């Protein structure tokens, strides 16, 4: 059974990051897969992101709250999150680009199906691409 925690506030990068920070302290960051989930290919300069963190049988998915789609605050929050993860030892960064119709229904999937879908669509990503 997959334990899935969903956190954050749609469209509120700063608040989502603040809710995420205490949870990061409880995770073993070097063993995490960090998947940045978006709904459009080739539009990183306007992208919106959800962040999926998975390690072992535990997983966490943020609301859609990070990236340039949410202005300077969204860019800054994503960069701060990536920096925190990297400083904590995370190194396995991926990006998953899903069709918009699938992206919009992620919250309807059961945790196992969600985990499988995101990991199957994840490709290696350079975390420096998401730095401010």
- Residue 97's domain comprises 3-130
Q: CA-CA distance, 121 to 18, in Å (whole number)?
A: 27
The average confidence (pLDDT) of the chain is 91
CATH number at residue 39: 3.40.1530.10
pLDDT at 67: 95
pTM recorded for the entire structure: 0.93
* pLDDT at residue 56, rounded to an integer: 73
Measure CA of the first residue to CA of the last residue in the chain; give whole Å: 37
Report the domain count for the chain.
1
Question: 111 — phi, psi (to 5°)?
Answer: -55, -40
Give the pLDDT band of residue 29 (cuts 50, 70, 90): very high
What is the tens place of the pLDDT at every residue in 49-103? 999 999 877 889 999 999 999 999 999 999 999 999 999 999 999 999 999 999 9
DSSP structure class, residue 104: T
Structure letter (DSSP) for residue 66: B
What is the predicted pLDDT for the residue at 45? 84
Both structure tokens of 93: 């960064």
């Amino acid at each position: 059974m997959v334990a899935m925690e969903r956190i954050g506030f749609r469209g509120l990068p700063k608040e989502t990051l603040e809710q995420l920070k205490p949870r990061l302290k409880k995770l073993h960051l070097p063993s995490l897969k960090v998947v940045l989930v978006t709904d459009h290919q080739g539009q990183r300069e306007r992208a919106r992101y959800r962040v999926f963190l998975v390690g072992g049988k535990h997983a966490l998915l943020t609301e859609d709250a990070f990236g340039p789609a949410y202005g300077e605050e969204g860019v800054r929050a994503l960069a701060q999150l990536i920096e925190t993860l990297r400083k904590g030892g995370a190194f396995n960064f991926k990006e998953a680009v899903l069709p918009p119709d699938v992206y919009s229904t992620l919250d309807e999937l059961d945790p196992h199906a969600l985990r499988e879908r995101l990991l199957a669509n994840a490709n290696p990503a350079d975390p420096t691409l998401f730095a401010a």
